[in-house]
Structure 1
Amino acid sequence: MSTGTDPLAPLAELPGVPESVAEVRKAVDRLYGHRVMRRRAPEVTSEAALRGARASAALSGADWPLEEVRRRSDFSAGAEERTVGAALRISAEAGQLLSVWRTSPLQVLARLHLLAAGDPSAVADPTAAREASTAAGRPRRSGESPEELFPLDLAAAQGVAAAPVDALLPPSGSSGSSGSSGDGALPPAPPATEVAARLDQLAQLLVTRLSGAQGGAPALVTAAVVHGELLALRPFGNYNGLVARAAQRIVLIAEGLDPKAICPAEVGLVELGTAAYREALAGYVSGTPQGLARWIAHCGLALRLGVRESTAVCEAMQRGMV
């Protein structure tokens, strides 16, 4: 099938992107070939979901230790608890929404946000509970502003930095600009009317691709675009980061790169730190070739770090430690 009809296909040819795609494919294939995956794949999937949810919650303002997330059963007491609970609910159901995603991505996005919002009656503050019940599952309306995407500044893990991403790209002085100010500053969220139009365009693109009428762009590129577009639009009043990262995971499953959902890219995003995340997203929002390439490469590196996390889980299982 010709790739010329796929609007995302040119992104796969941007500087550094073919290398990112190849490295991700190699890393994912290696993980899927691990001997533990032959016998205990469902356990690896469950652990990846838990670790991915913990990481996504951290990026959204609730940076809890993994064992605390594993231990807790009540996530209604405060804002951080609700964020962790939202991430866990989304993670638990995301893989079950594939059939709907193939025909109605917007319905899935609404469902993900509804899951994140949870039960409004569990919110102690009556005003907050009322707002949650009226806003759950619907895009924000005119005059409504979204919550901050990056409420916490998470430092990059020791020995992990965005340098490998930049190494894949041409120097900043070459043709094209990253389009960002260098400090990761993001423009205000688009107005509700623009959000609605761009969501419709995104949904139409995804449905057409998944129906087989188009093809061309690798799964990493498509997932990065969905992830970046949802973060740029911030379509809901809250939980936009959780929804965007879950949508990326669904794309990776639906397009066959990670069908068992064992590669928690959210873990990699935490390891790279929020400063690098924000700056890469600013590149996506800029719309420049170099900015888009940097964003795709950042998502690719995060996915490879997620593969590393699950590889460590497999090794621990093989040694009988899990």
Structure 2
Amino acid sequence: MSTSTPSSPSGPASGSADPLAPLGELPGVAEAVAETRRAVDRLYGHRVMRRRADEVTSEAALRGARASAALDGADWPLEEVRRRTDFGRDLEARTVGGALRLGVESGQLLGTWRHSPLQVLARLHLLAVGDADGPAVGRPRQAGEPAEELFRHRVAATEKVETELPADLTFPPAPAAAEVSARLDTLAQLLASRGGAKHPNERTAPALVVAAVVHGELLTLRPFTNANGLVARAATRIVLIAEGLDPKAICPVEVGLAELGTDAYRAALTGYASGTAAGMAAWIAHCAQAMRLGVRESTAVCEAMQRGMA
């Protein structure tokens, strides 16, 4: 996390038992977290989830993968993603294929994530790039290796953005490899520290806040030479499972991010990268809104399944 972030210390050994806990107290964050929690609970209580939860999970993974690929420039119709089997012909096809592989396997990496998130990030990058060769595959970039530019492709918004996003900030360039390595180590230590026993009176950050920080940190750092967006969104999904907010992975936050559009995504992420309280709060609220839209998507899936029941 940025050392300029007043509410996000640079390491897990700071004064609070959970360094991310203060982020849950930023203006508007508690309300966004509570609203999202209610939406998720309603979806988990849907009658279809009693018998067909695995089908909902599979459909959410497919729709989330399609949306994640769209944010990286491969905006294919859902039915095209569903029917295709060849994902190696061109860049768009490889992007969709990488998103699908991440959707299938990310949930299986939960055990490793709890004690070695950096190992999981390396695996996510391998899944994202597929059979591509090169010395930078499956490891963070090193000195002299450039990071890809984010948001090269624009996805138009289909939903109104509810939060006020910072308009006077510039998205920073990717940090140097040495800073990337140090911040990844800090992030890994912080995540590992959350697995220990907590005193009942200790403040802990809500799952949504943790997911937003992991998401924002990975996109800000751009630790790999390519596929950083796919990796960051897959890692966010793992956090939501691990932290218990979406244990069955039925809330495709990627769908919500795509519906809100690339411009809003970039603006909100710029707020995170600024390290200011207002910017962090706006980023968390944006992630919350995206997750609620993902809940809406899966609720529609459940309703369709219910109508088709015998």
Q: Which of 186, 189, 192 is the equivalent residue of 1:204?
A: 189
1:181 aligns to what? 168
> Matched residues in 2 for 1:13 and 1:58: separation?
33
TM-score (structure 2 length as normaliser): 0.92
TM-score (structure 1 length as normaliser): 0.88
**Deviations 1:100-157 (CA, angstroms, capped at 9, x unpaired):** 000000000000001111113xxxxxxxxxxx33211010111111112112111111
> Matched residues in 2 for 1:215 and 1:312: separation?
35
| CA shift for structure 1 position 83 | 0.4
| CA shift for structure 1 position 181 | 2.3
Q: Which of 15, 21, 26 is the equivalent residue of 2:38?
A: 26
Which structure 2 residues correspond to residues 231-246 of structure 1 after superposition, within 5 A? 231-246=219-234
2:281 aligns to what? 293
Which structure 2 residues correspond to residues 267-282 of structure 1 after superposition, within 5 A? 267-282=255-270
Which structure 2 residues correspond to residues 49-68 of structure 1 after superposition, within 5 A? 49-68=61-80
Matching of residue 320 in structure 1 with residue 308 in structure 2: yes
Which structure 2 residues correspond to residues 80-91 of structure 1 after superposition, within 5 A? 80-91=92-103
Matching of residue 251 in structure 1 with residue 239 in structure 2: yes
| CA shift for structure 1 position 321 | 8.0
Which structure 2 residues correspond to residues 71-110 of structure 1 after superposition, within 5 A? 71-110=83-122
| CA shift for structure 1 position 215 | 5.7
Structure 1 residues 309 and 292 mapped into 2: Cα distance closer, same or farther (>3 Å)?
Answer: same
Q: Which of 177, 195, 215 is the equivalent residue of 2:180?
A: 195
2:152 aligns to what? 151
| CA shift for structure 1 position 165 | 2.0
- Paired-residue identity, %: 71
One-letter amino acid matched to 1:316: A
One-letter amino acid matched to 1:149: L
One-letter amino acid matched to 2:182: A
> Matched residues in 2 for 1:151 and 1:73: separation?
26
Checking the alignment, whether the CA contact within 8 Å between 1:51 and 1:66 is kept in structure 2 is yes
RMSD, matched Cα:
1.6
Structure 1 residues 88 and 321 mapped into 2: Cα distance closer, same or farther (>3 Å)?
Answer: farther
Question: Does the residue aligned with 1:319 lie in a helix, a strand or coil?
Answer: helix
One-letter amino acid matched to 2:147: P
Checking the alignment, whether the CA contact within 8 Å between 1:25 and 1:257 is kept in structure 2 is yes
> Matched residues in 2 for 1:89 and 1:149: separation?
21
One-letter amino acid matched to 1:161: K
Checking the alignment, whether the CA contact within 8 Å between 1:209 and 1:215 is kept in structure 2 is no
Question: Does the residue aligned with 1:133 lie in a helix, a strand or coil?
Answer: coil
Checking the alignment, whether the CA contact within 8 Å between 1:267 and 1:305 is kept in structure 2 is yes
For structure 2, the 5+ residue unaligned runs are: 1-14
Q: Which of 306, 309, 317 is the equivalent residue of 2:294?
A: 306
> Matched residues in 2 for 1:223 and 1:31: separation?
19
The number of aligned residues is 293
For structure 1, the 5+ residue unaligned runs are: 121-131, 167-171, 173-177
> Matched residues in 1 for 2:68 and 2:105: separation?
15
